Amino acid sequence: MGYKVAIVGATGEVGRTFLKVLEERDFPVDELVLFASERSEGKRLSFKGKEYEVKALNKQTSFRGIDIALFSAGGSISKEYAPKFARDGVVVVDNSSAWRMDPEVPLIVPEVNPEDIYMFKNKRIIANPNCSTIQMVVALKPIYDYAGINRVVVATYQSVSGAGAKAIRELEEQTKAWCEGRPIPEPKYIAKQIAFNAVPHIDVFMENDYTREELKMLNETRKIMHDENIKVSATAVRVPVFYSHSEAVHIETKREISPEKAREVLSKAPGVVVIDDPSKSEYPLAIDAQGRDEVFVGRIRKDLAFEPGLAMWVVADNIRKGAATNTVQIAELLVKEGLV
């Protein structure tokens, strides 16, 4: 059985990756409809050897007959259009932050909380978590199930692709200018110069001086893990890397878990690849994760501040597992459970 699938925001970085992931995973697409802004209308994108014309998203458009819509067009578009799709009988899987904390909308990472898929029926909308949250909870879940977790302190090292294609070009232009001895252009899409720099400022600052990106990691983790008692303190940093986010994660567990046991449970966990042999300088790198769908974990060791506790290094491709792949996995879960 095939499905009529729509992609909203099809011409963006994540939208194009939706197409790639759907094809790679052989998702049962019977019909495909591509939507984007009016300026992208008429562009053609390829899927399984066939070209499809991009349509402008229109308030008067009927979405009846579409089974699943994958959204990656920003929160304002999602807030306006996701309910319209839902009213026409479509199940929406949304990649923006618009619906993540809505109590009637499930926030799903299939390796962590697949059972929440049934919650979508009230609004017919499912939210994809923030990219930095996704990779962290995939790595935390096996530890949580074995030893429990009281608190997490995490520092992220996030690639510029997380800020979109314009931020990628900004890093390219700044780097080229530096190499050529020219003045570095003023930043437009990242708060400060990103070339040869690290910027501890992603999204806006809130009243408590944490950024919204950092608070997402607290609030989304609690919702996904169904545990309001987990404490998460995050510092989110943009670094001059094109793709893949890295995270230094420090965990206070409820019960003792040795690094050896942590490697064992992580190695058996779905979606996790352990690369951890310091004696051979083997640990996950952002460039190794690029283009991959797994979450890579290494540098697993006893934490020296938390007792009991663990420290580890977590890496994943933010455009794939952190966005497109996780969204497609949610659609696969809908199909598997017979919910579309």
What pLDDT does residue 151 have?
Answer: 98
CA distance 207 to 201: 14
Map residue 257 onto helix, strand or coil. coil
What pLDDT does residue 122 have?
Answer: 81
Contact by Cβ (8 Å): 98, 81: no
- CATH assignment of 3-129+323-336, given 3.30.1050.10, 3.40.50.970, 2.102.10.10, 3.40.50.720? 3.40.50.720
CA distance 6 to 279: 48
In tens, the pLDDT along 81-101 reads 999 999 999 999 999 999 999
In tens, the pLDDT along 128-139 reads 999 999 999 999
Q: Is the pLDDT of residue 60 over 80?
A: no
What is 39-94 written as a DSSP string?
GGTT-EEEETTEEEEEEEP-TT---TT--EEEE-S-HHHHHHHHHHHHHTTPEEEE
- Count how many Cα atoms sit within 13 Å of the Cα of residue 92 in the half-sphere of its side chain: 31
Question: CATH says 132-318 is which class?
Answer: alpha beta
Domain spans of the chain? 3-129+323-336, 132-318
pLDDT averaged over every residue in the chain = 96
Tokens of 54: 């991009």
The single-letter DSSP state of residue 185 is: P
Single out the residue of 229, 217, 16 nearest to residue 97, CA to CA.
Answer: 217
What is 99-112 written as a DSSP string?
STT-TTS-B--TTT
Percent of the chain surpassing pLDDT 90? 95
What pLDDT does residue 120 have?
Answer: 84
Q: Give the residue-averaged pLDDT of 146-150.
A: 98
Q: Is the pLDDT of residue 3 over 80?
A: yes
More confident residue, 282 or 37: 282
What pLDDT does residue 148 have?
Answer: 98
What are the residue numbers of the active site? 131, 245
What pLDDT does residue 62 have?
Answer: 83
CA distance 246 to 287: 10
